Each structure stands twice: as C-alpha cells, then as structure tokens.
Structure 1
Amino acid sequence: MSEIAATPTTFPPIDRGYKQAESEQPKKRRSKNKKLPKIEHYKTFKPPERDYRDTELEKFSTFISSYTEERRIETLAKPKRVPSEFQDDRRSVYWIESNPPTPGPNGVTVIVATKRVSELAQHRIPHQYKADRPSPIWPVKQTAIEQEASERIHQLSMHKNAHPQHAYDRTAYIEVSPGAKRAASTERIEMLSRPKMRQDRFGMDETEWGQYFPVSEGAKKATASGRIESLAESKRYHAMFQNEKPVQWPVDDGAMKAIASLEIQKLARPRSRTMIKDDYDPYKVPLAARRARATPRLDELCVPLPRKCRPKKAA
C-alpha cells in the first residue's frame, strides 16, 4: 500500500463566534526542514482531539433539540378537546332529557305552544269555495222566467240530427218476400246443404294428418312383380358383421388362472416419484435412433400409393 502523508484534520466550524475565537489563538511556526510523520496503515490514523468549546456547543444543541421534542410529545399526548356543541348519545331509548310536564294547580296539564305552532294548528281557509246546492230544486228569479231566448240560443238547443245515409240496426224479426218463398233450389245447393257423413270426417283408416284415403279395389287385387318384391326385402348385414359384445360375459379359466410375467408386472407398476426426471427433454433424439436403419418393409410402407401420385405438369 502506498504511503499516506499525515495531515492535520480540520473540522468545519459551528458558528461565527467560534471562528473569531480560533483566529485569536497564537499561530505556531513550523520549520521548513521538519518532515511530516508517515502512516503505514489507515487504521492507525487518529484525528487530533477537538476543542472543549465544540463539545459544549454540541451538548447545548442536543439539550435544545431534546427539550423541543419533549414539548412536542407532551402536546401530542394531550387528549382531544370535546367541542361545546357535542351531545352525548342517550343511554337508552326510554331515557328522557327533561322531566315530563306535571299538572297545574287546577289538576290539568297546560301545554304552552309557541306562536308558530299556534299558526300551524289553525285550519286552512278555503279560497273562493262554494258549497254544493242543498237540493236540485231551487227558486228561479222572475227575470229569468220572463226572459226570451234569442234565435242563436234556439238553434243551439236543437238536438243533433243523424246523417242522411245512416242505417239503423236490422231487427231480428224479418219478413220473407213471396218470391223467396216460391223459389226452387238447384241440385248443387241441395248437395251442399246435406250434412257431412261421420265416416268421412272420422274414418278408421285415416292417416296421422286426419285425412281419409280409401284404397281402391284395383290396388287391393294387384300383384307385385319380382323386382318390387326384391326391393321390399330388408337389407341384410355383412357376412363378417358382429353384434355388440354384452356388458357381462364369462371369463375363461385360463385367463383367471394366468400369472403375469415379470415384464408385465414391471409395466403395470406405477412409476415412482423418484424416477421422474425434471430435466427430461421429450424432443431430444437418442443416438440409437439416429443410427437406426429402416427395414425393407418400412421402406415399402413409406412409399405413397401409385393411384394417389399425380405427376407435375411441365410449365
């Protein structure tokens, strides 16, 4: 480690008065030929002792700060003042704030209402209210009796007439004319006037839509050809068709008495947790698979079918 020259350490002054006091001290002369001491290691360096005035000033500032902090803590520790308008909650619903009124000297409780309450207690005065007439018959003035109506009033008093083309409702009782009585109906009208047969409406051989289509006699006596009979036969199953296997079937004695080989037991055993590899890469191809060669049969199966091969057209 390089040598470090020991220089006198200077500390920043605290206040202005300290600078003046430092300047008043006599300065010591240093010889030019005198060499400064050398320090081999930085841990052996010790700053010179500070003046007693620095310590006193620090103690005074610490005392002032602690005094102000204590005063602030005392202020914060005081409980919050309750405002003068604060009202405490009732201890119960039945708690009364004041004593109930007591009867007066006459034995009657007298409630003194304010002026505003007395005004609100008065009933509402109706505005230009006219009551109903006591009877539908009332006396008519003589001037009203002797008054003559004008032509306009006579015109307004007339009832409204119906429209000239208005036709009143026809009465239920009508008279049949003699011509209608002597008229003769045609054959078509007689056929339409007959009621519909019940068999036609509710036939036993009707379809799902309620329609009745009787089968003709010729269709009943017809004979089907060989082609129609062959088409009418149901479609047969394939020669190698096998029905679904039942859910329950008997198990062979050989299968029940069979003993699994070691390889089957090994494959049937679930994989233990310790055999699971966290760093297993499924996309990594092993070296044995890289060096393997396909058999002639595999090469034959890999070739596409000739019927599916389509030659490319030359551009």
Structure 2
Amino acid sequence: MATAGDLYVSSYMPYTCACPPSRIHVLAEPKPLYCESSPTSVIGGRALLTKYGYPSERLLRLAEPKKFLPAFLEKRARESPEWPVSLAAQNYNPSKRILELAQPKGLHPDFVPPREVPAQISSFAIKASASARIQKLAEPLVKELTCCTRHNAPGSVISMVSRSPRKVVASPRTIELAKPRQLPSNFKPPRDAEWPVSEAAKRAVATPRLLELSQPTSRFRMGLTALNPDAFRVKEAALKAVCSQRLHELAQPVRR
C-alpha cells in the first residue's frame, strides 16, 4: 500500500529530474517574420503558397489599390500632397518668437522612463515536465465555421437557396424599388478646404460697419485682477440709519 510520503515523492520527481517534452520546445520557438524571410509572399509573381496554392484572379483583383475617379482628378487643385515652396518662404528670416515656438516640448524633470521587467525563470520551471492536462490545454482551439451552413439553423447567416426563388422573375415594381435613391437636383458636393480667392475679394476694402462687427465681444473679467475692493463697503448713510418697528418685527426668526 502506498503511503502519503510515497505519493509526495512520486509527484515531485518529474519536476526535478525530467526534461521538457518536444511540445514545450516548439512553443518556446519565436514566431518567424514572414515579411522578411518568406519568399512566397509576393502576389504579383504568382508564387506557390504553403497551404492555399496560387491566388485566384479574384484575390489578385481585390489586392490592387483603389483608383481615383477621373472627375476627382480633374477637380483636384494639386497633383500630389507635396507642393513647391516659394523663394520668399525659403529665404524668410524667422523672429525669435517663432524660433521659440518651434522648439519641441521637453520632458518633465521628474519624468522616469519605463523600466524593463527582468523575467527570471526558476530552475524548477526550466526542468519541469508538462502533464497531459497542460499539453491538452496548449493545443490550439479549433473553431467550426458557422457562418455558412447547409441547414436553416436559427444562428446561421448564409443558407442554401432553393430552386424556386432562383427562377422568380422580378416585377417592374420590385425593379423600381431596388434602384438606389438618387441625389436631389440641387445637391452640391462638399467644397474643398482650400479654394482660390478672387482678385476682387483681395482688393476689397472693409466698411466701417464690417470693422465694427469684426471686433471681438468685450466681457468683464472675472479673475482676481477685476476684484472690486469696495464691493462690500457700507455707505455712511446706511450706518446712520434707524431701523423701524416693522423692520424689527420682520427681522425676527420664524418660530416653529
């Protein structure tokens, strides 16, 4: 009959003298960088993939970048996001204030960068042997594809279509309702953030009324600088006032 001490020794022995299995070595390998080492990631050369073979024509067409519409290219003011800088802007001499504002914001003097956390692995963990339960939990989870099914399950997204709906001919009313909604006749697309200014607007002279309306709204300051020290001063006439009998009566607290 095995005693408690024998069970303790037998359960402790695999963690002291056994070596890690091949599964632990496989999980300990770093993930390879396919973008640098794999030569089969090029789609244009029609290279043979590992699992899926050659990409189809549909995948190659979807992999192409989206092209601009001709109407957009005609209305675009510039051909690229970069535009030439004028000589006046290149030879401009910035002031001290602009140079001061151009300096990047420095770090706080009390800022401490994040420290690296050293991961120290004990010798027991290095020599440990994974049990059958741990190896079972280390296996990848295999999920069933539930988005496409042949049965009309309540949770299915795509189901098989019978032959009778395929042979249905749409009526004129259905075709009319299937058309997308058209834009109104007076619809105007959003204007670009940058548009040319006319010469008349550049030479325009503002009227006195426009100058008056362009002035910012003046509001009273509410800070300590606008504090009125005489706000709570009592007038001399109020100090010499005599309270009437009615005021004495109204000044009495309400008794409950």
Fold-level similarity (TM above 0.5): no
Considering Cα pairs closer than 8 Å and 6+ residues apart, tell me whether 1 or 2 has the greater RCO: 2
Q: TM-score, normalised by structure 1?
A: 0.19
Q: TM-score, normalised by structure 2?
A: 0.23
